[in-house]
Amino acid sequence: MRTPAVILALALLTPAAAQEPPGGETEPPPPIPENLPMPEGLEPEVRIQRRGEDVIEQYSVGGQVYMVKITPTAGAPYYLIDTDGDGRLETFRNDLENPPIVQWRLFEW
């Protein structure tokens, strides 16, 4: 009995909480600066190597590799990612010790 009353009260009070506070207009966002130069070393660098029929792409920023894309001749490409920023690409000995989080690239533009 008590739960439906709480849900009804929340449903009725939610629109009131979403309204703008009385007494004025919200200030406009600051203008976006035009043509800001990118700091040196922050632009990603891609190095492509070919080993036989395989293609290895190393992505780095500021000289530190953060991702490697490996495209084998047969099969889908896969990625090795430096998840904690220590400069080493993590490897796992078996599925029981620190299982990796599956990270698939669904869209890219």
68 in a structural domain: yes
- CATH number reported for the structural domain that contains residue 60 in this entry: 2.20.130.30
pLDDT in tens, 78-99: 888 887 778 778 754 444 555 5
83 in a structural domain: yes
Structural domain total, the chain:
1
Q: Average per-residue pLDDT in the chain? A: 77
96 in a structural domain: no
63 in a structural domain: yes
Confidence at residue 30, expressed as pLDDT on a 0 to 100 scale: 86
Show the domain range for 48.
Answer: 44-90
Q: In a 10 Å sphere around its CB, with 0-12 CB exposed, 13-18 middle and 19+ buried, how is residue 89 labelled?
A: middle
Over 60: is that where the pLDDT of 57 sits? Answer: yes
99 in a structural domain: no
Strand partners, 47: 58
Compute the distance between CA of residue 18 and CA of residue 33 in angstroms, rounded to an integer.
31
Confidence at residue 93, expressed as pLDDT on a 0 to 100 scale: 45
Comparing 16 with 53, the larger pLDDT belongs to: 53
pTM exceeds cut of 0.85 = no
Q: What is the DSSP string of 68-100?
A: EEEE-SSS--EEEE-SSSSS-----SSSSSSPP
26 in a structural domain: no
51 in a structural domain: yes
Rounded to 5 degrees, φ, ψ at 55 are -120, 130
Q: Quick check: helix, strand or coil at residue 26?
A: coil
107 in a structural domain: no
